[in-house]
Copies of this chain bind each other. A is one copy, B any other.
Amino acid sequence: MSVLTVGTVAFDDIETPFGRAEKVIGGACTYISWAASYFVNDIRLTSVIGNDFPNEEIKELESRGVNMQGLKLIENGKTFFWAGRYHSNMNQRDTLVTDLNVLDDFDPELPESYKDSKYVMLGNLTPDIQARVLEQLTAPKLVVLDTMNFWMDVAMDKLKEVISKIDVLTINDEEARQLSGEYSLVRAAEKIFEMGPKFLVVKKGEHGALLLAPNEIFYVPALPLAEVKDPTGAGDTFAGGFIGYLAKTDDISFENMKRAVVYGSAMASFCVEEFSLGKLKALDQEMISERIGKFVEITSFSL
């Protein structure tokens, strides 16, 4: 099935306790699309770049089945730039620079061929842009939305309006608490279901991910890794694996969502092992199957 991906395409400067990388390729839409490309080959990317963005990166995504008709190129524009530094606790980071550049007046107009997309992954962007994309879709089967605390701080009403129209919300534990006003994630989920979504994915970084639906809970741990180099993009890579697996299997039951969460976690576990897209570009189906096997191994017990 078709997957629509929406989000940033970016340059990142990244500093972690284990090294640094300058002006590397980043952006939610990039990570989502790369991760999803291991599951489906009808991916429709929606984003904006300046003419400083390397053409070979675009070609590479195209060669993986990613449609680039929805990638707007702004002549004489500069691509979105983000710089961040991770704490020794890699679950926390400081944003050093956010240069919106071409993103500043991005108004996504979907190509005609995108409008019938079935599986939709709205990466973290202003709720306005997310809403604009949604209203152009004719018959989406499943809409997943990622967002962050920043939009809760500055645009809560608009955010809640978009959230009321989606199926799956992916946020982290602190954001789930902020959005719902509830400390318990079980209670937070109940409140969020009242807002519209039927499923909630709570991303907890190195502590794994929770999938909740009314009266259903599934908790997949993160894979403990010998080396974590750069957590940037892990959440988006998770989302890409998640929606990619769902689109491939075209089954949105809770049982299948559980599998999708495991596949998303497996993709994210690769992402953090190298800076930028280093590891994500170098995968194959065998490596993914083997990694899934590790998730089975670390979570299995018999009574």
Contacts and interface: CB of A to CB of B under 8 A. Distances in A.
Interface of A: 17, 88, 90, 183-187, 204, 207-208, 210, 212, 217-221, 224-228, 255, 258-259, 262, 292, 296-299, 301-303
17 contacts: A88-B183, A183-B228, A184-B224, A184-B227, A187-B226, A204-B207, A212-B224, A217-B297, A217-B298, A218-B301, A220-B299, A255-B301, A259-B301, A259-B302, A262-B301, A262-B303, A292-B303
B224 A210 contact: yes
B224 A221 contact: no
A224 B218 contact: no
Contacts of A297: 217
Nearest to A217: B298
Give the number of copies in the complex: 2
Given A208-B207, A301-B262, A184 B226 contact: yes
Contact of A298 (B218, B225, B296): B218
Given A292-B303, A303-B259, A186 B219 contact: no
